[in-house]
């Protein structure tokens, strides 16, 4: 069975530790790791439903595992493929689009990167330039994941957090759709690479709900802990429309009414049906 390591870029503590992987808008920090985690979770589900075994070493929404530790582990596990999921940033806010990196001497990684670019275009999204970057020594493209892995490895930058249009898809109102589509782009490219015909199970048909565990709990009008809305009570159940995301020291869900609520498992229980 084919085994793919899904490498979630960075960790839940990267920003706090000065790693600077994210973007600030209107005083709210949006961390790259959270987006990478959402894509990875959906990709994991899609690959397994297509008969591909997966390995997630860096766990979603969890503290960062260092790059050397990651590649040592992938090499020791001898996985067939390492796919690293990221979002880009630039001081040029007009920079947008998606791209993939492969080690410059690795023809199989290049073939896979080309499949990614092809699927990006099939899905109607733009690429950053040609969408293809050779990762090379002695330049800014000298990426650890591409260089230190013994097997085929690709690193994707799935849009620019610093661009207005891409931001809406990565963190904003378009996130649910975008995460679903980007995960499918990855899954289709990987299936084509291994000669497996991709079967879509119709997406995240499992709807998430949260049940209130606390006696009473605040909701919020916006993703801001100071912007309190109304109190909800123990036993009430709400439909999740935006999955767990980071807000200034904690995590929130957005619920169907449009309000926001803490994702702290002490106060809410999440389940699917």
Binding stretches for Zn ion (CB under 5 A): 9, 86
Please, which residue, 92 or 226, has the CB nearer to Zn ion? 92
Nearer to Zn ion among residue 160 and residue 253 (C-beta)? 160
**What is the C-alpha separation between 188 and 183, in angstroms, rounded?**
9
Angle between helices 107-122 and 175-193 (to 10 degrees): 140
Closest residue by beta carbon to Zn ion: 86
Contacts of 140 (CB under 8 A, 6+ apart): none
Q: Between residues 22 and 220, which has the closer beta carbon with respect to Zn ion?
A: 22
Cβ–Cβ under 8 Å, residues 196 and 135? no
Residue 266 beta carbon to Zn ion: minimum distance, rounded to whole angstroms: 30
Nearer Cβ to Zn ion (86/110): 86
CB-nearer residue toward Zn ion: 9 or 97: 9
Integer Cα distance of 23 and 3 in angstroms: 33
Q: How far is the CB of 21 from Zn ion (least distance, A)?
A: 5
| Residues 213 and 269 sit within 8 Å (Cβ to Cβ) | yes
Distance CA(16)–CA(13), nearest Å, equals 5
Least Cα distance to 233 among 261, 220, 214, 257 occurs for 214
């Amino acid at each position: 069975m084919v085994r793919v390591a899904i490498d979630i870029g960075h960790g839940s503590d990267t920003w706090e530790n000065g790693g600077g992987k994210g973007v600030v808008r209107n005083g709210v920090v949006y961390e790259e790791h959270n987006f990478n985690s959402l894509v990875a979770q959906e990709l994991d589900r899609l690959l397994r439903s297509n008969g591909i075994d997966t390995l997630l070493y860096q766990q979603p929404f969890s503290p960062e595992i260092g790059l050397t530790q990651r590649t040592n582990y992938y090499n020791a596990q001898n996985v067939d493929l390492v796919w690293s999921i990221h979002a880009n940033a630039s001081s040029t806010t007009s920079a947008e689009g998606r791209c993939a990196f492969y080690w410059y001497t690795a023809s199989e990684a290049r073939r896979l990167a080309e499949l990614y670019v092809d699927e990006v275009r099939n899905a109607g999204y733009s690429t950053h330039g040609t969408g293809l970057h050779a990762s090379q020594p002695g330049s800014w493209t000298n990426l650890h994941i591409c260089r230190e892995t013994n097997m085929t490895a690709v690193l994707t930058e799935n849009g620019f957090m610093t661009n207005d249009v891409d931001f809406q898809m990565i963190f904003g109102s378009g996130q649910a759709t975008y995460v679903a589509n980007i995960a499918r782009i990855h899954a289709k490219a990987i299936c084509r690479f291994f000669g497996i015909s991709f079967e879509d199970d119709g997406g995240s048909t499992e709807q998430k709900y949260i049940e209130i565990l606390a006696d009473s709990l605040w909701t919020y009008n916006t993703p801001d802990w100071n912007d309190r809305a109304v109190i909800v009570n123990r036993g009430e159940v709400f439909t999740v429309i935006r999955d767990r995301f980071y807000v200034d020291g904690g995590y929130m869900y957005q619920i169907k009414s449009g309000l926001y609520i803490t994702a702290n498992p002490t106060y809410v229980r999440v389940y699917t049906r």
